[in-house]
Amino acid sequence: MPQNVTFHLPFQAGSNPESARAGEHHLAWIRAHGLVRGERALSRYREWLLTDLAGYAYPEARGADLDLVTDAVCIGFPLDDQFEGPRGNDPEHVARLSAELAAIPYRVPGTPPALDTTLTRAYTDVWERSAQGMSAAWRTRAAATYTRFFRAYVEEAHNRRSGAVLDEKTYITLRREAVGTGPCFDLIERAGHFELSEELYWSTGVQTLLRCATDVIFLCNDVHSLEREEAQGDPHNLVLITQRSRGCSRAEALERVGTLVGDAVHRFQDTARTLTERHAAGPEGRRLARHIAGLRHWMTGNQRWGTASARYATENIGIEVIPGDIGSTRREDALSGPTAGSTSRAARP
């Protein structure tokens, strides 16, 4: 069973002693926002172990910082499920909702979403908490990361609608944005109350680290979610694409993905070593070390979570947990209207 497949990740695993408390906070938060409704659905959502994932990924976060990153990480899964059903095959709906979500960081704090949905209200709350205390440069960068993430959903919707046959290279380029690691990686700085300089963040070295960590995460996720996506007829899975494009067996496709994981890990380690030597002294070096540690925790935490989460268990495929209307306005025809209400105050906290 692919969910049981693991790859060698030579990084120390993290865990957070406040995970249980943050988990209870998050369950109350999603209930209040209407992202999961009813005790049965809430129980199934709990079995996904999403709050454990946040604890693995941010082992040093505490208190309100841990609450924030837990909500921010976990909300990506209701979003993903919103686009996996029939609405995920409707590029127009996906484009309108994605444009609204991408506009959230550019509005004056306290401005309600132009499209009043359960999902946009929850994302507005997460963004406003994320932006608190961060510099204008970080907010602008994080807002752009959000935009790329939501735009990728639109491209996936077009692929589903058109029945696009993806090759490995095209898929990997898309998946690097659609997997959602960008916003999660930005939160390493937010949860740790530090920021990399813009020069260092945009350097070839740090961008290589981010890309390699993203690849490890999405490759592991594609393995763990394989049976779920195959059952749903979703073309966005590298194992399925590799089987088709190379005419190989399932085992051979999994071996190919494992090779890509190993390559990404090796490149990450080499790049981290070079960067650490170059920035060994001073505050920037300490911030870089914390950022690299955060990426390592994300890689190990994601694999640890993916092998245990009931979200990918074969027996749970097709069981509805997230309501299908969390991205719908109270008046559905409002989705066809303009996404007005944004301001020119880019990414203001």
Give mean pLDDT, residues 144-173: 92
- Residue 7 is classified by DSSP as -
In sequence order, which residues have a C-beta less than 8 Å from that of residue 40 and are 6 or more positions away? none
Q: How many CB atoms are closer than 10 A to CB 309?
A: 20
Q: What's the pLDDT at 88?
A: 61
Q: What is the pTM of this model?
A: 0.92
pLDDT digits (tens, 9 = 90+) for 276-311: 999 988 999 999 999 999 999 999 999 999 999 999
Q: Which residue, chain included where needed, has tokens 């841990």? A: 66
Q: Does residue 348 register a pLDDT over 60? A: no
Which among 155, 145, 97, 147 has a CA at the least distance from the CA of 121?
97
List, for residues 38-83, the tens digit of each pLDDT value.
999 999 999 999 999 999 999 999 999 999 999 999 999 999 888 7
> In the predicted model, is pLDDT for residue 334 greater than 60?
no
DSSP symbols for 137-176: HHHHHHHHHHHHHHHHHHHHHHHHHHT----HHHHHHHHH
- Amino acid of residue 113: P
Closest by CA to 170, choosing from 187, 190, 152, 183, is 152
pLDDT tens, position by position, 207-266? 999 999 999 999 999 999 999 989 888 889 999 999 999 999 999 999 999 999 999 999
pLDDT band with cut points at 50, 70 and 90 for residue 87:
low
Sequence-ordered list of residues with C-beta below 8 angstroms from that of 198, at least 6 positions apart, any chain: 137, 141
Closest-CA residue to 51 (of 308, 323, 336): 308
Output the six-digit token pair for 165: 């046959």
Structure tokens at 164: 């696009």
The neighbour count for residue 341, using CB atoms within 10 Å, is 15
Number of H helices, E strands in the chain: 16, 0
pLDDT-derived band at 346 (thresholds 50, 70, 90) equals: very low
Residue 51's nearest CA partner among 95, 19, 97 is 19
Tokens 């070593």 correspond to 273
